[in-house]
Chains A and B, each alone.
Chain A
């Protein structure tokens, strides 16, 4: 086990790690020779807990929520890219990119969580023989209880993908303020969320440009418009029609390009993605998980 490597990894996310660990630094230097290797993980974890205190648990919880989404998304996309002719040839490279990036996110989050002395989230049924980390098909039911056939037709595959991407973005925004004690991790979570934004745009654009598409969503979320059937998906977009940001009425801002000089509601809502609480997102993803 290379604990110096762990510290240097944390240093990347928290440049002040050595200061936080001050007084414990010499201890670090002497670890290799004097502490039994088996006792190392425990010793490290307790050291970090002391250094970061309460906030570490909050940060780990937030990162674990993100990790749960990454497992789910990676599994979804891998199942999709491995399903015969589900994805048209011209879009297959795009979905393979998304699949591999979600896998990289799993590895990244696991690394940061371990560095903080936390325990990384594992999906239910992780130990099933079908698991190929981080692909855990035994954990999920993407048909939402037999209602949908995402791996039988591309349109449905895109619909569920859109809902998963947008919900993940809502979930991250619900967690960013809990990361305020650690600006470095916060910055990385912003960077991670940006990649999910790119994925969401890609998926939504595929739906928009599909030949004979019944719906033409934009790459961003207009108002609180869900994909059809809205009865199933409206709750994944509640509150997205918010037009007040930090007490500023966005619709009240001037837009000289319109005759009435006002910001269209569509733009006011689409310009901001909204945060969902952890409780809300756990309820929203529950139908995708096996009991």
Chain B
């Protein structure tokens, strides 16, 4: 088999996230071959230059925009390959989760205008979408991050005209977090490691920590050197 004929990973299309499906297909094709490790190594692209997140408020809003790109890609994959044993309610609500994340993503993209970072390439290899526990555990990770990200951003954001709107999204993401945690593990909607602090306030994630966590779901690498953080 000529490795040059192996299809390149699907590139991001307008508004369409890249799924790990293409990678999976790739590995399935490669699976029958001995020396797959060698194949993978030889296919590794030269590291692309890191995407610059911007500085100040723009970097902070781009951080949320990247987060939303990841959650949309995540839920879109979940809708396409729903886990075994999903109830009718769960199927309906994961479509709503995807759509609300998409509303947030496009809202942030519109606000950022020409300062918006490019469409990211996601990397969902750590998620087994056909497995309920794997899907919901990762959903909880991403929603807990969402619920904790805004409080971090608002601490640093200079432009006060965003306060109201980030707040309006933050409680909706907290609703998402409460929901996915509860169907993962009943009554765990507001408890767990790094979920709440000793005052029963939601955990606050710093932008730098948030970008680092998102790295688990991203192929695109970012230059966060000018991202305000604490």
Contacts and interface: CB of A to CB of B under 8 A. Distances in A.
A209 B89 contact: yes
Given A201-B176, A205-B182, A274-B168, A192 B191 contact: no
A97 interface: yes
Contacts of B204: 187, 191
A286 interface: no
Given A194-B170, A195-B196, A201-B174, A275 B100 contact: no
Those 10 A-B pairs whose CB atoms lie nearest each other, nearest first: A197-B174, A198-B178, A201-B178, A267-B99, A104-B200, A194-B202, A194-B174, A253-B106, A190-B151, A271-B103
A94 B185 CA distance: 11
Contacts of B157: 183
B161 interface: yes
Interface of A: 90-91, 93-94, 97-98, 100-102, 104-105, 107-108, 169, 172-173, 176-177, 179-180, 183-184, 186-188, 190-202, 204-205, 208-209, 216, 218-220, 245-246, 248, 250, 253-257, 263-264, 266-268, 270-275
A264 B147 contact: no
B160 A177 contact: yes
Nearest to A95: B187
Contacts of A205: 178-179, 182-183
B27 interface: no
Contacts of B183: 205
Contact of B107 (A94, A191, A245, A270): A245
Q: Place the interface of chain B in its size category.
A: 35 or more
Contacts of A108: 199-201
A187 B152 contact: yes
A101 B16 contact: no
A248 B107 contact: yes
A220 B172 contact: yes
A218 B147 contact: no
Contact of B104 (A246, A271, A275): A271
B93 interface: yes
Chain A interface helix/strand/loop/mixed = helix
Contacts of A254: 15, 106
Which residue, A172, A198, A200, A271, has most C-beta atoms of chain B within 10 A? A198
Contact of A270 (B89, B164, B172): B172
Contacts of A180: 160, 163
A59 B189 CA distance: 29
Nearest to B169: A272
Contact of A200 (B79, B151, B160, B175): B175
B96 A218 contact: yes
A197 B203 CA distance: 13
A172 to B, nearest CB: 7
Chain B interface helix/strand/loop/mixed = helix
B44 interface: no
10 contacts: A97-B189, A187-B204, A195-B202, A197-B170, A197-B171, A201-B177, A202-B182, A248-B111, A266-B96, A272-B172
Contact of A197 (B172, B182, B198, B200): B172
Nearest to B161: A246
A176 B172 contact: no
A97 B198 CA distance: 13
A190 B104 contact: no
B62 interface: no
B111 A194 contact: no
A187 B187 CA distance: 26
Contact of B99 (A97, A246, A255): A255
B13 to A, nearest CB: 9
A264 B99 CA distance: 8
B79 to A, nearest CB: 8
Given A194-B170, A250-B103, A176 B164 contact: yes
Contacts of B110: 248, 253
Nearest to B195: A198
Given A187-B151, A193-B167, A248-B110, A198 B103 contact: no
A173 B168 contact: yes
Nearest to B171: A197
A197 B186 contact: no
A286 to B, nearest CB: 23
Contacts of B196: 101, 195
